[in-house]
Chains A and B, each alone.
Chain A
Amino acid sequence: MPWDRNQMAERAAQELEDGMYVNLGIGIPTLVANYVGDKDITLQSENGMLGMGPFPYEGEEDADLINAGKQTITELNRTAYFDSATSFGMIRGGKIAAAILGAMEVAENGDLANWMIPGKLVKGMGGAMDLVAGVRRVIVVMDHTNKHGDSKLLKECTLPLTGAGVVDRIITNLGVLDVVEGGLKIVETADGVTEEDIHAATEATIV
């Protein structure tokens, strides 16, 4: 059985180590926070916060306290606030250990596309280009194929890039792959998924 959204998030949480400062993207990456267990992880929100807490209780929402997805959140006893230039200083400066984010396409050389589809509504890249360029380790969590059944792991991205050669590891519903010299390397398969299944679902070169 391929992994579901929560199992992908649970697997992604295994990438995180005690003491890490981490930025989580929108969608499945947000669920990763549910699976960090007792590891000491500090979440960064690029709108200007380290130490992001859970959603507030009803009636305790604060308009001055939101995450990068513009959702109301809470602070923790370790929280620090700062301005946007400082926030992206720590991102660009390589202070954030890992970013976990979604993608539309990943290429075998680590190119990532997740911000625009030509001809469709373009909303902008937000902080994604800064994150993938600056964070020390970039982990993509996404379905292995799109809704048409086509591979999202490609020889070359067809969509405009968010970053060139930036992805380190890809966690899909079928397993875990690393970007290595010459292509992608299967690190792990989901329960009941074989390496042959991954080969069959992948356009990118698997080495």
Chain B
Amino acid sequence: MKKLYDNATTALDGLLHDDILIAAGGFGLCGIPELLLQAIKDSGVKDLTFASNNAGVDDFGIGILLASKQVRKMMSSYVGENAEFMRQYLEGELEVEFNPQGTLAERMRAGGAGIPGFYTKTGVGTQIADGKEHKDFDGETYIMERGIFADLAIIKAWKADETGNLIFRKTARNFNVPAGMCGKVCVAEVEEIVPTGSLDPDGIHLPGIYVHRLIKGDHEKRIEQRTTRKKEAV
């Protein structure tokens, strides 16, 4: 099966419709599928729901889709690095479902693993637990959270082989693995595609079974908070 596509637009061909649920990898601006997000913007689809830990910044990441009002709902753990996001949210134009970060990650992983619901103690006794099933196990109370089954997953990896086996680099792995798992179709953008057989099979982070389409592209890889220390004078 051919997984390689020429660019982000052709890789998304036939997958984009109004009102779908898209799981997106990345943490902040680290490891986000920036090329696929741009192609989704260019497609003009609207009323999208994104399961994504963050919402980008005004001119990068999911922020570009907020600016063009293509997003109806965000399922996220932390937002607000983004003025347009906050404006739409405060005006009631954008629905936000806050999820604890680990709950969001596990909801994606669970969806990808065929698990429709699971119990966690995260959020017990908080407003996150309101309306959710509570259950005691061994004397401790847990709440039920639902697995996420996304119509489409978009992720970004460092290297792929031609069969879609993926390797991520450093902390850019983050949500890309669980997001990639929970999509009915997963499209991955990578920095480098190597010939099949040249990746160490013991070192694959996301096996190609989860990855249906693949593109190589040039990434800006923007840094959100550039923090450094000074070299001490020798």
Q: Which residues of A contact B (CB under 8 A)?
A: 45-49, 54-67, 69-73, 75, 81-89, 91-92, 111, 121-130, 133-134, 160-165
Contact = CB atoms under 8 A, between A and B. Distances in A.
B70 interface: no
A83 B178 contact: yes
Contacts of A46: 101-102
Interface residues of B, number: 57
A92 B105 CA distance: 12
Contacts of A54: 229
Interface string B182-215: 0000000000000000000000010000000000
Contacts of A71: 225, 227
Nearest to B103: A130
User: DSSP class of A's interface residues: helix, strand, loop or mixed?
Assistant: loop
Nearest to B80: A123
B126 A163 contact: yes
A76 to B, nearest CB: 12
Interface in B86-103: 86, 90, 98, 100-103
A24 to B, nearest CB: 15
B76 interface: yes
Interface string B100-120: 111111101100000000001
Nearest to B220: A63
Nearest to A161: B126
A60 B229 CA distance: 10
Q: Which one of A54, A75, A85 has the greatest number of beta carbons of chain B within 10 Å?
A: A85
Nearest to B127: A160
Question: From DSSP, what is the main secondary structure of chain B's interface residues?
Answer: loop
Interface in B119-133: 120-128
Nearest to B112: A85
Given A66-B28, A66-B224, A134-B121, A91 B102 contact: yes
B77 A63 contact: no
A124 B125 contact: no
Interface centre among A75, A82, A83, A122 (most CB of B within 10 A): A83
B2 interface: no
B105 A126 contact: no
A66 B225 contact: yes
Contact of B53 (A59, A62, A75, A84): A84
Contacts of A86: 177
Given A47-B171, A65-B170, A129-B100, A124 B123 contact: no
Contacts of A130: 100-103, 122
A160 B98 CA distance: 13
B172 A129 contact: no
A56 B229 contact: yes
Given A47-B171, A75-B170, A84 B177 contact: yes
A87 B76 CA distance: 17
B50 interface: no
A63 B229 contact: no
A127 B101 contact: yes
B79 interface: yes
Contacts of B123: 129, 133
Nearest to A125: B100
Given A56-B229, A65-B171, A72-B227, A84 B178 contact: yes
A125 B223 contact: no
Contacts of A81: 168, 170-171, 173
